[in-house]
Amino acid sequence: MVAVAAVAENGVIGRGRSVPWDLPEDRRLYRERVADAPVVVGRRTFESMRSVGEPPGRRQVVLSRSRSSYPDPGVQVVDGVDAALEAVTDADADGPGPVYVLGGEAVYEAFQPRLDRMVLSRVHQSPEGEYRYPDFDRSEWTLKREASYDGFTVEFWTRAD
């Protein structure tokens, strides 16, 4: 499993129902990365993505305690981590590939112990916001490479052996 997140210098990943920056190149890279894969996302994050266009990923597994379904094709609502893992295993029956965890904060936190990789866009800003990417023990991870862009740097992390 791979977490994909845009994280500000102060750890912020969101404010209200949106991200407090506008980086079109990061959005493009993000959508390309997850386009053909199943994704796991929290309900509020899914609804914010849905409000501005088609949610990313081939299939969306939405974690929710308050909603049981969406009319969108390819969307499955589950109520916990184990159910999400089962759903993405079923979704990927046609071939192995990455499953992307797209947030929000509680979803990143819940899946952190199960991640193999993280792709973090480090946004060169420190905006206000109430949602943060969870801290992780850097001794358990290896930074494999970085790619710099205007306004952000993408970090590719793998879990250390």
Domain chopping of the chain, boundaries: 2-159
- Sequence-distant (≥ 6) Cβ neighbours of residue 38 within 8 angstroms: 57, 58, 59, 60, 61, 87, 88, 91, 92, 99, 100
| pTM score of the predicted model | 0.92
Question: Which alpha helices (DSSP H) does the chain contain, by range?
Answer: 24-34, 43-51, 81-91, 105-111
- Strand 141-149, strand 59-63: pairing: unpaired
We find that the CATH architecture of domain 2-159 is: 3-Layer(aba) Sandwich (3.40)
Helix (H) or strand (E) holding 152: strand 152-159
| pLDDT surpassing 70 at residue 157 | yes
Rounded CA-CA distance 104/14 in Å is 8
The predicted-structure confidence for 54-97, as pLDDT tens digits, reads as follows 778 888 999 998 888 888 888 999 999 999 999 988 765 656 68
Average pLDDT, the chain: 92
